[in-house]
């Protein structure tokens, strides 16, 4: 790809000012000179074969010119003689800081040992300082996975497993659907080849059966919504990625009859009101599946995701998922935190509450053992999630298996410290009671309630454990006593 071709492609993806174009052309020349003589495992020129594709991925996420320039130069500090000072002088401080941030992360190695954990800690501390650095690193990994075939088999599997465990999971928590699917789908065949082949065969068979139905439904949906809205909405067909299909198959014990969202029709409409109007039109034409209507517009997911979901009987022996959202909602669903206007405008802080969990990544105790640190990450950040609600309608994002006590600490430390029990959907329950998605939870405080070591058995989140340990003066990880007597604070 020539510099001119690169610029044309980027300009097609995002709107660039004349100054932006000039700076990007300058970065293309600067980066190419810095990486002179370097090649990849494929034999390609390092800059054109890696740095430019990474920058294309950044542009595909709709990010700023500075982010594209930083992507072009992301390996210069680590792999060449170029310094932060050089980049700041030639471009600006924002670009220099971003490149330095990526360089400080270094090369993550999945080894299941101390070095791996230190890399993870570095990775997540960087996320709390400037998420743009993490987005660059995720795009870097995206392209590395696209060229994984050129590496030795053992290395391919290690990188693929690492990518699914860390990069794909983090992209998912950032609600970056496009990036999550790209990472997981590219890594899946290398990380789990047998499962991949089995899933691929089932997926192809499934799609072959559904193709005729989806095409007819697409045409019918377009007509129904156009008649209802008075304009033609954007409608597309979404096929579930192969790794997402695998995860769904696992949950459904490999019974494809239980999967109703392999293919979905997505309608993009103009306003929130049109979303509900379109939903009414869909239900007037097709009978909805009971319990499958989800209103994420009125009650967004904790990461900010909004959409209306429903599943309908097609009348042809099939069930089809329908998603209805506005263009802004769609951008956020696809690009997550990268879709926020402040990331397009080159500022660090794009969220208030939407991604507060990122800040918690830096709160995990730095003196924890390797096993404890990884356990906390898996439990608090990368486990399956549930979304419980306060009586006021605030959504609390928790790992599956979280209890009333975990919920209390997630709302506020003081509430957790005084929690005596909780009402789940109006029914009083003990602190150790596990929660389910969509539970409405009201914490009941007690004047004489105080934490005991039993509370460490009654909670699973690092947040609850760390607050309780601190209150009790426990410096080391407390090993729960499974035979502990029940505390009076229930």
220 as an active site residue: the answer is no
Cα separation of 445 and 204, whole Å? Answer: 54
Cα separation of 144 and 158, whole Å? Answer: 13
What is the side-by-side order of every strand in the sheet holding 263-269? 234-239, 263-269, 319-326, 308-313, 294-295
> Could you tell me the fold of the domain covering 193-335?
Beta Polymerase; domain 2 (3.30.460)
Instruction: Let me know the angle formed at the C-alpha of 389 by 385 and 394, rounded to the nearest 5 degrees.
Output: 110
- 311 token code pair: 């599943």
Q: At 121, is the pLDDT very low, low, confident or very high (cuts 50, 70, 90)?
A: low
Q: How many CA atoms lie within 13 A of 34 on its CB side?
A: 23
Cα separation of 369 and 113, whole Å? Answer: 10
Boundaries of every domain in the chain: 3-191, 193-335, 363-472
Cα 282 to its chain centre, rounded Å, is: 29
Interval 131-176: pLDDT, tens: 788 899 999 999 999 999 999 988 898 889 888 877 888 888 777 8
CATH of 3-191, one of 1.10.3210.10, 3.40.30.10, 3.40.50.720, 1.20.140.10: 1.10.3210.10
Question: Is a pLDDT exceeding 90 seen at residue 363?
Answer: no
Which of 44, 78, 118, 363 is the catalytic position? Answer: 78
User: What pLDDT does residue 279 have?
Assistant: 98
Say what percent of the chain tops pLDDT 70: 82
Instruction: Determine the number of helices (DSSP H) and then strands (DSSP E) in the chain.
Output: 23, 10
227 as an active site residue: the answer is no
Q: Are 230 and 286 in contact (CB under 8 A)?
A: no
Residue 402's nearest CA partner among 359, 434, 377, 371 is 434
Interval 253-291: pLDDT, tens: 887 777 767 778 999 999 999 999 999 999 999 999 988
Q: At 109, is the pLDDT very low, low, confident or very high (cuts 50, 70, 90)?
A: very low
Which of 5, 29, 79, 371 is the catalytic position? Answer: 79
Q: What CATH number should be reported for the domain whose range is 363-472?
A: 3.10.20.30
Q: Is the torsion defined by CA of 181, 186, 190, 195 positive or negative?
A: positive
């Amino acid at each position: 790809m020539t510099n001119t071709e690169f610029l044309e492609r980027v300009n097609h993806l995002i709107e660039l000012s004349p100054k932006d174009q000039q700076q990007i052309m300058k970065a293309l020349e600067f980066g190419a000179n810095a990486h002179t003589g370097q090649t990849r495992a494929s034999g390609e020129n390092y800059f054109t074969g890696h740095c430019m594709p990474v920058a294309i991925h950044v542009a595909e996420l709709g990010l700023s010119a500075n982010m594209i320039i930083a992507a072009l130069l992301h390996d210069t500090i680590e792999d060449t003689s170029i310094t932060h000072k050089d980049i700041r002088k030639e471009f600006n401080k924002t670009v220099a800081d971003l490149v330095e941030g990526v360089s400080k992360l270094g090369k993550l190695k999945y080894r299941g040992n101390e070095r791996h954990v230190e890399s993870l800690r570095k990775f997540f501390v960087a996320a709390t300082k400037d998420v743009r650095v993490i987005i660059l690193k995720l795009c870097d990994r995206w392209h590395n996975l696209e060229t994984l075939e050129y590496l030795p088999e053992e290395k391919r599997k290690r990188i693929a497993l690492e990518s699914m465990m860390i990069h794909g999971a983090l992209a998912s928590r950032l609600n970056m659907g496009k990036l999550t699917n790209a990472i997981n789908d590219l890594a899946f065949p290398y990380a789990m080849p047998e499962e991949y082949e089995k899933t691929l065969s089932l997926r192809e068979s499934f799609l072959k059966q559904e193709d005729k139905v989806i095409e007819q439904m697409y045409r019918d949906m377009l007509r129904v919504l156009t008649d209802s809205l008075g304009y033609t909405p954007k409608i597309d067909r979404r096929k579930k990625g192969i790794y997402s299909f695998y995860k769904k198959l696992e949950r459904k014990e490999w019974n494809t009859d239980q999967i109703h969202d392999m293919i979905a029709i997505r309608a993009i409409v103009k306003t929130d009101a049109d979303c509900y109007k379109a939903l009414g039109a869909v239900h007037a034409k097709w009978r909805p599946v009971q319990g499958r209507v989800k209103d994420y517009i009125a009650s967004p997911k904790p990461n900010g995701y909004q959409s209306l979901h429903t599943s309908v009987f097609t009348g042809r022996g099939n069930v089809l998922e329908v998603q209805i959202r506005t263009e802004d909602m769609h951008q956020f669903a696809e690009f997550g935190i990268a879709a926020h206007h402040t990331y397009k405008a080159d500022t660090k802080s794009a969220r208030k509450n939407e991604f507060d969990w990122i800040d918690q990544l830096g709160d995990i105790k730095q003196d924890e053992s390797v096993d404890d640190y990884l356990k906390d990450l898996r439990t608090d950040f990368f486990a399956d999630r549930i979304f419980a609600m306060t009586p006021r309608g605030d959504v609390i994002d928790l790992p599956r298996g979280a209890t009333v006590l975990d919920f209390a600490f997630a709302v506020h430390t003081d509430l957790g410290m005084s929690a005596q029990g909780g009402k789940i959907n109006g029914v009083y329950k003990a602190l150790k009671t596990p929660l389910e998605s969509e539970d409405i939870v009201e914490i009941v405080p007690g004047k004489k309630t105080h934490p005991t070591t039993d509370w460490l058995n009654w909670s699973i989140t690092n947040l609850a454990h760390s607050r309780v340990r601190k209150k009790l003066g426990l410096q080391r990880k407390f090993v729960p006593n499974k035979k502990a007597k029940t505390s009076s604070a229930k």
